[in-house]
């Protein structure tokens, strides 16, 4: 068995790193033809490599320490401090072990995004204490059959309190199922700021649809159109409708109203000549993990997280 040591990347490592990334991309794209993974590094000398006594590169990782300030809305959806494992590729289990150990930061969690089609990923990352937390899902273009009859309309300024409360309620609904989805003080103000951008006509503002049942605001959906231009990201190049927040009030859940809301949103997004619809959902939530696949969303990527920071 090779003995691996870890050091920063130097210029001469480039050819071997790119070979590792190509082998990884070839294997994973065979498992899921929807994927288009990066085959070259994002930066010439960024990251770490595990090398053996002959100088052969057995693993590459670009660790990115992500820290969110107290007033950042993203604290509702991610650890306050975590190392994101970018460009991870390895040809040897021992090399992988060595480079992961070197990338860890005290009092920081760990996260890695990996294709959902790779059945080997969950047990591999479990060895490092990482668990599947959320899925990035893709639905191909096409209509969705509506559910129970209801009114779907654009949100109006007088809806601000109701839709903001639904947005917070949706995040709180996930809290018991993952410690990194949680309500933080910045969550509602950030959402209200997006509402203000929408009603002021600001370019790039999201669209908010409201579900109305018996004259009451029963649900909401925040969506936007995103354009992907480069290969090697989460999605192939194209235009996608992204559902950022979908919420149905507790008293209306399980009655088909959510399907009606999503059906209308997808129909509106279809007018932008999109290549598919995307969203994130919590894998541990028994409702979302059941509903979204039923509506045609298939897991493309999974976010694995080590949920307890190293002391």
Residues 290 and 165 occupy one common structural domain: yes
Query: Is 297 within the bounds of a domain?
Result: yes
From 279, 302, 310, select the one nearest 122 (Cα to Cα): 302
Last residue of a domain, one of 128, 151, 172: 128
Residues 118 and 181 occupy one common structural domain: no
Residues 291 and 229 occupy one common structural domain: yes
- Full residue range of the structural domain in which residue 33 is found: 5-128
Residues 119 and 212 occupy one common structural domain: no
Query: Is 311 within the bounds of a domain?
Result: no
User: What does DSSP say about strands 48-51 and 57-67: parallel, antiparallel, or unpaired?
Assistant: antiparallel
Confidence of residue 1 (pLDDT cuts 50, 70, 90): low
Q: At what angle do helices 187-200 and 160-174 cross, to 10 degrees?
A: 140
Confidence of residue 179 (pLDDT cuts 50, 70, 90): confident
The count of structural domains within the chain is: 2
The greatest distance separating any two alpha carbons of the chain, rounded to the nearest whole angstrom, comes to 73
What is the C-alpha to C-alpha distance for residues 241 and 277, in angstroms, rounded to an integer?
5
Token pair 């591999």 in the structure block, residue: 124
Coil, strand or helix: which one is 196?
helix
Query: Is 48 within the bounds of a domain?
Result: yes
What is the C-alpha to C-alpha distance for residues 60 and 41, in angstroms, rounded to an integer?
10
What is the C-alpha to C-alpha distance for residues 34 and 29, in angstroms, rounded to an integer?
7
Calculate mean pLDDT across residues 79-93.
96
Residues 161 and 43 occupy one common structural domain: no
Last residue of a domain, one of 87, 109, 128: 128
Contact yes or no for 131/111 (Cβ under 8 A): no
Question: Does the pLDDT at position 310 exceed 80?
Answer: no
Query: What pLDDT is recorded for position 311?
Result: 43
Question: Does the pLDDT at position 309 exceed 70?
Answer: no
Residues 123 and 143 occupy one common structural domain: no
Q: pTM (2 decimals)?
A: 0.95
Residues 25 and 78 occupy one common structural domain: yes
Contact yes or no for 190/73 (Cβ under 8 A): yes
State the chain's mean pLDDT as an integer: 95
Query: Is 309 within the bounds of a domain?
Result: no
What is the C-alpha to C-alpha distance for residues 257 and 146, in angstroms, rounded to an integer?
9
Calculate mean pLDDT across residues 108-126.
97
Query: Is 251 within the bounds of a domain?
Result: yes
Structural Rg of the chain based on CA atoms: 21
Token pair 């070979």 in the structure block, residue: 19
CA distances from 20 to 49, 77, 113, 165, 194 (A): 11, 31, 17, 47, 41
User: Per-residue pLDDT tens for 184-213?
Assistant: 999 999 999 999 999 999 998 999 999 999
Residues 191 and 245 occupy one common structural domain: yes
Calculate mean pLDDT across residues 104-127.
96
What is the C-alpha to C-alpha distance for residues 80 and 113, in angstroms, rounded to an integer?
17
Last residue of a domain, one of 94, 128, 162: 128
Calculate mean pLDDT across residues 58-63.
97
Residues 72 and 207 occupy one common structural domain: no
Residues 147 and 235 occupy one common structural domain: yes
Contacts of 262 (CB under 8 A, 6+ apart): 144, 221, 243, 246, 295
Which is more confident, 179 or 141? 141
CATH number at residue 175: 3.40.630.30
Residues 29 and 106 occupy one common structural domain: yes
């Amino acid at each position: 068995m090779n003995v691996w040591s870890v050091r920063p990347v130097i210029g001469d490592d480039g050819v071997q790193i790119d070979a590792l990334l190509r082998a990884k991309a070839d294997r994973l794209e065979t498992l899921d033809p929807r994927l288009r993974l990066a085959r070259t590094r994002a930066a010439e000398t960024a990251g770490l490599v595990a090398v053996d006594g002959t100088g052969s590169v057995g693993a590459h990782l670009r660790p990115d320490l992500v820290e969110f300030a107290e007033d950042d809305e993203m604290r509702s959806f991610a650890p306050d401090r975590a190392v994101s494992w970018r460009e991870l590729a390895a040809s040897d289990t021992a090399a992988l072990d060595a480079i992961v150990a070197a990338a860890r930061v005290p009092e920081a969690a760990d996260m890695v995004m990996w294709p959902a089609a790779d059945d080997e990923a969950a047990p591999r990352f479990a060895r490092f204490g990482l668990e599947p937390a959320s899925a990035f899902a893709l639905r191909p273009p096409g209509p969705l059959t509506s559910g129970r009859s209801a009114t779907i309309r654009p949100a109006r300024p007088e809806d601000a309190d109701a839709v903001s409360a639904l947005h917070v309620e949706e995040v709180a609904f996930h809290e018991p199922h993952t410690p990194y989805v949680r309500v933080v003080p910045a969550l509602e103000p950030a959402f209200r700021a997006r509402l203000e951008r929408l009603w002021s006509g600001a370019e790039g503002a999201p669209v908010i649809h409201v579900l109305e049942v018996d004259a009451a605001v029963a649900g909401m959906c925040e969506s936007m159109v995103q354009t992907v231009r480069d290969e090697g990201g989460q999605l192939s190049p194209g235009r996608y409708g992204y559902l950022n927040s979908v919420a149905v009030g507790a008293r209306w859940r399980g009655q088909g109203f959510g399907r009606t809301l999503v059906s209308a949103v997808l129909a509106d997004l279809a007018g932008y000549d999109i290549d598919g619809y995307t969203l994130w959902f919590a894998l541990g939530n028994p409702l979302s993990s059941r509903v979204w696949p039923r509506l045609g969303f298939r897991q493309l990527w999974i976010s694995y997280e080590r949920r307890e920071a190293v002391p």
